[in-house]
A and B are shown apart, each in its own frame.
Chain A
Amino acid sequence: MSEPLLSIESVSHEFGARRALLPGRRSHLAVDDVSLTIAAGESVALVGESGSGKTTLGRVVAKLLTPTAGTVRVEGRDIGALRGRDQLAYRRTVQMIFQNTQHAFNPRRRIRDILSDPYEIHGLPTPGGRDAALGELLERVGLHPSMLGRYPHQFSGGQRQRIGIARALSLSPRLIVADEPVSALDVSVQAQVLNLFARLRRELGLSLLFISHDLRAVYFLCERIAVLYQGRLVEVAPRERLLESPLHPYSRRLIAAVPGLGERDSAATGLAEATGDAPEAAPDRGESTAAAVAGAEPSPALATGCHYAARCPLHVRLGRPERCLTERPVLRTAAGGSAVACHFAEAAEGTAGTPSPPGSHVSVVSEEVG
């Protein structure tokens, strides 16, 4: 394979690292030694729960944050070293789309002004006049050029997200970092925006780093899925591979949590499956947060060994092996193009209740007659 478009090399980001030297202050390691590449034209998803560090990693890639360790390379160049004119040029290569469309735009400026900014800042000529270029941009994302004179609040959430996409596209970037771009939208509008992403990828050959906690959206749009848990990558795999044979216990738990998966003849079956898969998940999750309330819990990312061990059903099933608590699992290559950070990933195969086969809408004949 040729050189990847984006290459994240052992990147860590620690919030409050300097202040932590003062007594009573603690830092938070949001991203912990993450390595990931994205090829040109490829779309990679970053999934995980809130607080897993996915937004932080996205911001590092967009150079909105400088990582405390590691390097990010785009087209082979270390973006940390870029200054001035080079940095400006870099920003043309990588653009970001934000989750909250209400806060992503200045409410007092018209769409025309908002979309003109990138051209102004980068001093780009607009052949055929600014309005023509902007109108074309709006059409590309499925809006009408006549909307240029409107203010952000005059649009629905889905339309505003389209404007966010238009703004990101205006500089013809090669990579777009999209941070939960559809999670604030209605399901039906979500589908429209996801279709837009899919179309733009086909038409423009864009690369995408798609950050989301919604596995369905991710599966639709991205060829590879990277699972992040509390700052560390636990599994990176092609989408079919991740869904059909997830190797990491946490990936399995994520998949089991997707609503509408699995058969249901009584109301709770699908969820009961999820429980069966991760019996301790609920109490343990709560425990760590409750402990955080009490201020006693050390940051799990700082724990030696595997940071998932405390919640891991596999760890329990194997009789709590010592290795999980002492040795940090590295992300290693596994079968089928996967990479997994678990000492005992292979032990899980076969024994674990693999999630129900793909094909989300299982037909169930019901006895209930109105």
Chain B
Amino acid sequence: MTDQPLLSVRDLAVEFGHGAGVSRPVDGVGFEVGEREIVGIVGESGCGKSLTLLALLGLLPSGGRVVDGSITFAGRDLRGADPSVLRSLRGRQVALIPSDAGAALNPVARVGKQLRLSLRTHRPELNSQQRRGRALDALRRARLPRPEQALAAYPHELSGGMQQRSAIALGLQNEPMLLLADEPTTALDVSIQAEILRLLVQLRDELGTAIVFVTHDISTVREICDRVVVMYAGQVVEQGGVDEVLTAPRHPYTAALLGSIPPLGGVPPEQLETVPGMPPDPAAWPQGCRFHARCRRFAELGEPEQCTTAWPGSAEGRALHVACHFPSEADRVGAGR
């Protein structure tokens, strides 16, 4: 593909703190999102996946700052952009779907009012009747049953799944080009989760919205994503097409994440594969490959020195890529960059 991707992130680094207390929870992250594409970002808590999303929106918590890299969205540089430019983009062209919709919605305003308020901000040209119609439309698109009633309901009157649908409607009604979904289903039941995942795919198909889907659950990535970016300790360790990465993972961390999913069917194994130990501390990332201390292959290969001294290298864009000195062989050749 030669055309420009919708979103291109290169070498993104985020820092918190000052002087000796400085930490870099996001350190050299690069990926691309094409139009109509659903890209999953997976990793454990604290790997920097949510901060990456917030950095894209210019919404890092106080003290956080982007210190390196570039963010290009629809041909515009977002990193150096004026806050007013970012404000006009947020909600209008890039929308965020939160993980806990119940907490993200205003508890004392009816759903309809919240939808209309966002429309008034982003689409001042609409009159109140048009706003109402559009809000209703968004709820319908989010497959909320009885959308008229939902307009008049307070968030607490809705079930968790319906709250999440309302939050999705809120993100969608301005027809953004890109939806950023931060663990949109983790707070939900399995059956509701499946419905919300299905909804995201339907919306992409209907509206052509590209979606960045952040999750810790790699099995949901398999369901809906076209490509996947696996993050560990603030860096991308592997990325590529979902089928390639999830059926033949080349990085030991990706393999371990997949192995930790309990298999459904057959005789259950005595033990599930786990990643021993804990993720490292962002204030003191390990030297070399950040995963080496927990890496099975590092141990199997007799603790090669490379792993403890040199970062196996980063790549950007949409190429199939693995950041490991000793990656597993890919099934097919020619899939590299």
Contact = CB atoms under 8 A, between A and B. Distances in A.
A50 B157 CA distance: 16
B316 interface: no
Interface of A: 49-50, 156, 186-192, 194-195, 198-199, 213-217, 219-221, 239-240, 243-244, 253-254, 256-261, 264-265, 267-268, 270-272, 274-275, 281-283, 285-287, 289-290, 292-294, 357-361, 363-366, 368-370
A220 B268 contact: yes
Contacts of B257: 187-188
A357 B217 CA distance: 22
Contact of A259 (B194, B241, B265, B274): B194
A368 B272 contact: no
Nearest to A50: B189
Interface in B29-81: 38, 44-45
A194 B191 contact: no
26 contacts: A49-B191, A50-B160, A188-B44, A190-B260, A191-B272, A254-B191, A256-B194, A258-B264, A264-B242, A267-B225, A268-B202, A268-B224, A270-B223, A271-B198, A281-B195, A289-B159, A289-B161, A290-B145, A293-B150, A358-B263, A358-B266, A359-B266, A360-B219, A360-B261, A368-B244, A369-B320
Interface in B219-240: 219-220, 222-226, 240
B149 interface: yes
A220 B272 CA distance: 9
Given A259-B223, A283-B143, A285-B192, 5 more contacts: A186-B216, A187-B218, A239-B268, A259-B194, A259-B217
B307 to A, nearest CB: 20
B265 A293 contact: no
Given A186-B45, A294-B149, A368 B241 contact: yes
Contact of A219 (B262, B335, B337): B262
Contact of B262 (A188, A192, A220, A363): A220
B6 interface: no
A219 B264 contact: yes
Contact of A370 (B197, B220, B225, B337): B337
Given A254-B191, A267-B201, A271-B194, A195 B271 contact: yes
B334 interface: yes
B243 interface: yes
A260 to B, nearest CB: 3
A285 B271 CA distance: 36
A285 B165 CA distance: 13
B193 A370 contact: no
B36 to A, nearest CB: 11
Contacts of B205: 268
B125 interface: no
